[in-house]
Amino acid sequence: MARRRQSIAHVSPGSSYPIGATIYPDGVNFSVYSRSATAVELLLYDYPGDRQPAQTLRLDPSRNRTFNYWHVFVRGVRPGQIYAYRVHGPFEPERGLRFDASKLLLDPYARGVVIPDKYSRAAAAAPGDNAPYAMKSMVVDLSRYDWEGDRPLRRPFNETIIYEMHVRGFTYHPISRVTPSKRGTFAGLIEKIPYLQDLGITAVELLPIFQFDVQDAPAGLVNYWGYSPVSFFAPHIQYATARDPQVAVDEFRDMVKALHRAGIEVILDVVYNHTAEGNQKGPTFSFRGLENEAYYILEQDRARYANYSGTGNTLNANHSMVRRLILDSLHYWVEEMHVDGFRFDLASILSRDETGAPLANPPILWDIDNDPVLAGTKLIAEAWDAAGLNQVGHFIGDHWKEWNGRFRDDIRAFVKSDPGMVEVVASRFFASPDLYAGKNLGPDQSVNFVTCHDGFTLNDLVSYTEKHNEANGEENRDGHNGNLSWNCGVEGPTSDPVVEELRQRQIKNFFAMTLLSLGVPMLLMGDEMRRTQQGNNNAYCQDNEISWLDWSLLEKHADIHAFVRNLVRFRQELSIFRDAHNLNLTDLLHLAQIEWHGTRLYQPDWSQSSHSLAFTIHGIREAFHVMCNAFWEPLEFELPSPPRRSANGWRRIIDTSLAPPDDFSTLEAAPSVGTAAYCVRPRSVVLLATEIIRRRELPRGHNVSRSPAAVGMKKG
């Protein structure tokens, strides 16, 4: 990084607004919030690792403070200036006050963070001055970038296929064929956009890209996932090709612009529920040293932090200042960085008050829900937290969609042949009306997924019955124990062709059920080529080949990749998914022409011992018949007659038991099925389809609204 020394002419009182470092033609205005501080110093540095500042500006409370904001205008400061704060005040943990003027503090609103070569998390937690080892803020120029007319895409949810991915892990593997200097960066991701387009992805959901503390991990390991934020505005500098915050900002924008040109939206996984400062033994980076009792939820013993996040602390999201911070951050990423949406990590925490109690109408959630800047932005809630608050199906607000954890668990259980799953899986196929039908919302309320970053990959879900997290250094105690996984007979990799064939089939079953269900499908990076984490279901600290996408798997598992690619395209062409957004879920299911079956027509088996399900859908332009056999023996399914206005009778589009290329066919090339029954092999999914010549009359026979997928979950 180039030397940052700049001539400073003089200072003036400045303004409390805007918060943060704001560039003007003749200098920069600095403003920071601290209600209880007795003194604030602004320190200007030449280099990230400097022990002494080039200039120290002690703010005068009578001139440089307006209400709870400390501010100063410094003439001569330009973009690239490195700065930090020292904040003085009482260290009285029993009152919730933890001021420590020996620690350098980041500006919570800084657009850039620099990290010295000798950065030390431990130094921020130990007594004494940590200046040469501390992260520092940097003034970043947002005005000079040329967006070339770019805008967020505003793609409807019903047309969305989400791909959850890690910026570094997607391209860092040595055989990724990305330019070596760009591997693991925003710029490297650009080189893989053609792959995402070819797969049919319409939105990437990026694991956290806010600056996070890489040292927040067990000894000898690093924080890889990024759920350890130190800033809510600065892009992670390690994802840039140069360790310069200005480069990070510009390259992030380059990535967004390139993805938009390819028709792909950018959704950020955002962590507004905790920070990297941890519990009472943790480091002081920023919030703790500025106004601890405002930023965090504290226990009744004010010296201790509430821990609803499972990481040591919990942000006090409904405090007025924290609400402002969150909204300002969201506005920044939409207005200045052009992102299309957000997935809120542990979003249920945002519904808690300063005592930790859930609120009926949390101010911050309604602020976000009704915000005009965010009106066209995708908002997705992980509607639970680490302390047991689960709001799936009843998250606050009208704008929010939800990660459907019930879809994940129920589909996993059904596919591995657990008893009593048929009725709930029927609901999952149709956007979970048992969870969402009463909210007057559309079928896209449910974001459907089987795997995500947290847990097994899809390959490992069918290859390991137990987690294998020994590499994390916690004696395999970390990570979820209840994974609803099954190794298909052998734990881990195997050369047994029978086991491998079964694993392939189960993987295709998961993809078929996810992509043929109403709702918004989300796929995990690399599942389409059977990426493995070697049985590690909590690889948050594994910045190595356990986590990186091994691109050689694309050739090794080309058959799975082709199956997923074809299935995505098939879904995107179907009228039922394109048209479903015009109705709310309740009306859709009342009007839908759905017929439920078991192995016998119109006789679904909802019993505990059942492992089979079939249903027929009569759409406007297509009709489908789906058969799911999660039993360990083949089952003969009776077939309904093709619709009277069928163009060509039933054709077999998907049979997951067949070897490629017969496992998937386009409607035009699919073989005809003219028999009265179809033998579905063990643990397989079959889809038959036909085109409708013109609009079909409403059926007169079976009362389809009494299916389990209908409102009220009534049995047929």
Q: Cα(249)–Cα(110) distance, rounded to whole angstroms?
A: 12
**Given the DSSP bridges, would you call strands 65-66 and 55-58 parallel, antiparallel or unpaired?**
unpaired
Tokens standing for residue 153: 């895409």
Measured CA to CA, the distance from residue 417 to residue 411 in angstroms comes to 10
d(CA 605, CA 364): 45
H or E element in which residue 189 lies: helix 186-191
**At which residue do the structure tokens 């089939």 appear?**
505
Q: Which residue from 409, 505, 506, 502 is spatially nearest to 455, judged by alpha carbons?
A: 409
DSSP letter string, 577-633: HHHGGGS-HHHHHHH--EEEESSSTT----STT--EEEEEEE-SSEEEEEEEE-SSS
Place of tokens 């791909």: 163
By DSSP bridging, strand 91-92 and strand 55-58 are: unpaired
Q: Is 336 a catalytic residue?
A: no
Do β-strands 136-138 and 39-45 pair in parallel, antiparallel, or remain unpaired?
Answer: unpaired
Q: Is the CB of residue 658 less than 8 Å from the CB of residue 665?
A: no
Q: Residue 253: how many CA atoms within 13 Å on its side-chain side?
A: 25
Question: In terms of Cα–Cα distance, which of 102, 119, 97 is closest to 211?
Answer: 119
Cα–Cα distance, 10 to 55 (Å, whole number) = 11
- Confirm if 142 and 336 have CB atoms less than 8 A apart: yes
Task: Say if CB 633 and CB 682 are below 8 A apart.
Answer: yes
Number of alpha carbons in the 13 Å side-chain half-sphere of residue 648: 13
How many residues make up the chain in this entry?
716
The DSSP bridge pattern shows strands 55-58 and 11-12 to be: unpaired
> Does residue 661 have a cis bond before it (omega within 30 degrees)?
yes
Burial of residue 698 (CB within 10 Å: 0-12, 13-18, 19+) is exposed
In the structure encoding, which two tokens stand for residue 40, read together?
């604030």
CA distances from 364 to 96, 353, 371, 383 (A): 23, 10, 10, 15
- Alpha carbons 713 and 73: distance in angstroms, whole number: 63
Pairs from 181-184 (Cβ < 8 Å, separation ≥ 24): 181/241, 182/241, 184/238, 184/239
Catalytic residue list contains 345:
yes
CA–chain centroid gap for 427, Å, is 24
User: Which residue out of 382, 385, 402, 595 is catalytically annotated?
Assistant: 382
At 272, is the secondary structure helix, strand, or coil? Answer: coil
Q: Pick the catalytic residue: 107, 345, 367, 385?
A: 345
DSSP, residue by residue, 36-78: S-SEEEEEEESSTT-SS-SEEEEPPTTTSEETTEEEEEEET--
Question: Annotated catalytic sites, by residue?
Answer: 345, 382
